[in-house]
Each structure stands twice: as structure tokens, then as C-alpha cells.
Amino acid sequence: MLSTRTSIDTASARQLDTAPAPQPDTAPAPQLEVAAELLALLSDTTTETRSDPQLEALTLTVAADLPVLLWGEPGIGKTAALTQLAASLDLPLTTVIASVHEPSDFSGLPVVGDDPATQGVPMAPPDWAVRLVRAGRGLLFLDELSTAPPAVQAALLRLVLERRIGSLRLPAGVRIVAAANPRSSAADGWELSPPLANRFVHLQWTHDQEVVVRGLHGTWPRATLPRLDPERLPDAVAFARRAVCGLLSARPGLVHRLPTGEAGRGGPWPSPRSWEMTLRLIAFATAADTSREVLSMLVRGTVGDGPGLELLASLDRMDLPDPEVLLADPATAVLPERGDLRQAVLDAVVEAVRRRPERSRWEAAWTVLVRALETGAPDLVVVPASTLARLRQEDWVVPASIDRLAGAVSLSRRADQTAARVAAVAGTGR
């Protein structure tokens, strides 16, 4: 019995020895391949030329070789916009998260050589800076800038302004763009230090519902550098210099104005450095014939809202016709369409007559006012006409053209009197 059982066990063992060993499953999982195909379809998007003021402002600042800082809430698309910008401009993108680096990562790491007493201790740059120098061009993206502690912000000063990291200097083909979240929505956020903030052009980055919907559908706006007209370059520079210098000559207090609040110091504010950046941006915007909206973003993002709006107003006045030219040929006077600019021109014409009162000039001014009445709102001529009438001297004959203005002036006065009566009745509660 034992012999029979032993022979059976031996035979079973022999069968087990000769049976093929199970092989590991080395074939790729087919579901992962399908998932990869689906991911490829989701990432297959196209671009189109589309009017986008904030994207145009960004590309113009990049073209002007100025550091630009995009401010926006988390998830608004700042990183995606920079990635698409680098791809559109065919620039290698290097992303550096500022908040996870030490100050030495931007100022350089000391490397002790054989004889430091004679050779010194050089500051070695990080690997990403070396790659940018080797490429000779690229887009350096400093992300999460508002979460970088003050020591790191201080180390970034030389990088942003002088483009130096240790003993290495970034080539001219490298552009610097940064992104930050407002302190209220940043992860352990800090306000930017005034020296660092003053080195950037600050652009507020917001989402456009139509752009987002069309992008999720597969088509995003294309970022392209502005087309600069070579023939307009000298005039663009002259215009920019005249605009900035004219404003600062009239408003010397705007040359340097450091905000008193901590939040204001972390944004755009006027200084000689930021005015130089503004001058460059105006020249580029003029040569590219950009829109008023884009120019407003750039100017206000460099010197702040208050000084920026003053500069924009002075730019409007620079484009106004010379009152002496209008007085020389009043019959063909071309006046601005915008009401505030037209009012400024008419006031300037009357002021020119007041400075040099002559009968021919006084009559020409009436012709200009009639021209304004025929081509614009009648109420704009009321104040200039009243002022011009008081400049009449006794021996000056009233021109026939003044009759055409009498109706508008009379109607305006009656409207003012009616408004005054209504206000008086309302004040008495009757």
C-alpha cells in the first residue's frame, strides 16, 4: 500500500516538475493605451487670431523687453497663457517657482576653488540659468511671486533688473514674465517689496467668458508680437518723449511718489525707473498703433492709476489741433468727435483770442464755434460763446455768424433756468 502511494506521489511530483512555470504578464495594459489616446485628443487644440486686449498688452511688453507681472486669482489661466505665449513665439519656456527656492538660488551658490585667497569664491548659477544662456533665448517664467518671502524677493532684484544670476548674465533674447496671486488669495502670501514691484509692468489678468468657452471647445486666441511700422519709429520715440517729459514738467510731484500704504507699494507707482519704462511702452504702442484700451493697461500698470490717467489725458491733448491753425483757416476746421476733447479745443481757441485780441482773430473764432455747432452737440459752444462775446471791443462789428449761435445759447440758458427752478422747488419741499 505504501509502495503504491509512493509511486503515485513520485509521478505527481514528476508532472509538477515538467509543467511550464507561470509567466509574468508583460503585455501593456490596453486600457492605459486607450486613456493615452483620449488624453491626446483632449490636448489637441488650435489657435486663432482674436482681439484680446490683455494678451496684446502682454505681448507688447514682452516685445519691449520689460519684465511683466500678471496679477490674477488662482485658476484664472495665467500659467496657461504663458505656456501658450512661449509656444506661439517659439521660445523655450523655463518655469521657476520662486517660493520654493532659497535666496542663494538666485544670487548664486558659492564654489570654493583651490586657492580662494587669490582666486576668490565665484558664485555658481543654477542649472536653469545655464540652460537659458546656452539656448541664447527663452521665456523665464517666475511663478507664485507673491508667496516668495522677503529674502527671496531681495535676491530677485538683480535678476529682474540686471538679468544677472551670480556671475552669469542672461542673454538679450531672454524675456522675463512673472505671475502672482493677490495676498488675500495667495497661499501664505506676502506683499511685494517696493523695489521689486517697481521693476515690473503690472497687468491685471482676468478671464473672458467667451475666450474660455471657445478655448474649451478647442480654439484659443493666438499670441503674436505686435507689428511695428519701421517708418513710424522715429516719430514714435519723439512722441513718447514729448508726452512723458511734458507731463513731468507740468507735474514735478509725479516724478517720484512712493505710496504710503503697504499694498500700494507692492503695485505700480511712479519713479524715474517706471517713467522710463512708460516712455518705452508708449513708443512701442505708437509704432504698433495699438488701441487706447491697451495703452491704458500699459501706462496704468507701470506708474499707477492716478499718474497713468493724467498721462493719458495729456496724450489726448497732444493730439488736439493747434488753435492758431484753426484761427488761420476756420472754415475748414476739423474738430475732435469726443465731447470733452472738442470742449478743450474750443476753450483753447477762445483763450488764444484772449491772449492776442484782434478783430480778425475774434471773427475767426466765431466761425470755429459755428463749425462746432454744425458738427456736434450745441451745448458745447455755450460757454466758449459767452466768453468770446465778453472779449468784444467797442469798435468791433458783431459778425453775422453770431446769429446762428444765438438760438443754442438762448436754449441752453432757458434749460439752466428751468433746472434751477426745479431744484429750488425740490429744496422747499413743495
Give tens-digit pLDDT for 89-127.
Answer: 889 999 999 888 888 888 777 776 666 666 667 777 888
Query: How many C-beta atoms lie closer than 10 Å to residue 255's C-beta?
Result: 14
Q: Does some domain include residue 5?
A: no
Same domain for 299 and 180: no
Give the end of a domain, one of 221, 242, 260. 221
Q: Which three cell numbers stand for residue 352?
A: 488764444
- Residues of the chain where predicted confidence (pLDDT) is lower than 50: 1-2, 4, 6, 8, 13, 16, 411-412, 414-419, 422
Query: How many C-beta atoms lie closer than 10 Å to residue 324's C-beta?
Result: 12
Same domain for 308 and 265: yes
Give tens-digit pLDDT for 46-60.
Answer: 888 888 899 999 999
Same domain for 198 and 69: yes
Q: Does some domain include residue 6?
A: no
Domain range enclosing 89: 50-108+122-221
Same domain for 148 and 84: yes
Same domain for 216 and 87: yes
Residue 19 pLDDT:
53
Same domain for 348 and 304: no
Domain count, the chain: 3
Q: Does some domain include residue 375?
A: yes
Q: Does some domain include residue 19?
A: no
Q: Does some domain include residue 400?
A: yes
Residue 418 pLDDT:
41
Give the end of a domain, one of 292, 318, 344. 318
Under 8 Å between Cβ of 49 and 224:
yes
Q: Is the dihedral of CA 268, 274, 279, 285 positive or negative?
A: negative
CATH code, 215: 3.40.50.300
Same domain for 395 and 293: no
DSSP state string for 75-133: TSSHHHHHHHHHHHTT--EEEEEGGGS-THHHH-EE---S-HHHH---EEPPHHHHHHH
Chain-wide mean pLDDT for the chain? Answer: 83
Distance, CA of 269 to CA of 256 (rounded, Å): 8
Same domain for 291 and 148: no
Distance, CA of 318 to CA of 330 (rounded, Å): 20
Same domain for 421 and 341: yes
Give the end of a domain, one of 318, 336, 352. 318
Q: Does some domain include residue 212?
A: yes
Same domain for 355 and 312: no
Question: Could you write out the three-class secondary structure of 26-74?
Answer: CCCCHHHHHHHHHHHHHHCCEEECCCCHHHHHHHHHHHCCCCEEEECCC
CB hemisphere CA count around 351 (13 angstroms): 8
| 65: alpha, beta or left? (left if phi > 0; alpha if psi -120 to 50) | left
Relative orientation angle of helices 339-355 and 382-390, to the nearest 10 degrees: 0
Q: Does some domain include residue 40?
A: no
Q: Kindly report each contact of residues 240-245 with a partner whose C-beta sits within 8 Å and lies 24 or more positions away, as own/partner.
A: 240/279, 240/280, 240/282, 240/283, 240/286, 241/279, 242/318, 243/279, 243/282, 243/311, 243/314, 243/315, 243/318, 244/275, 244/278, 244/279, 244/282, 244/311
Same domain for 241 and 214: no
Q: Does some domain include residue 4?
A: no
CB hemisphere CA count around 210 (13 angstroms): 4
Same domain for 204 and 91: yes
DSSP 322: P
Residue 427 pLDDT:
58
pTM of the model: 0.73
Distance, CA of 262 to CA of 190 (rounded, Å): 10
Reference 197, options 132, 243, 150, 140; nearest CA is 150
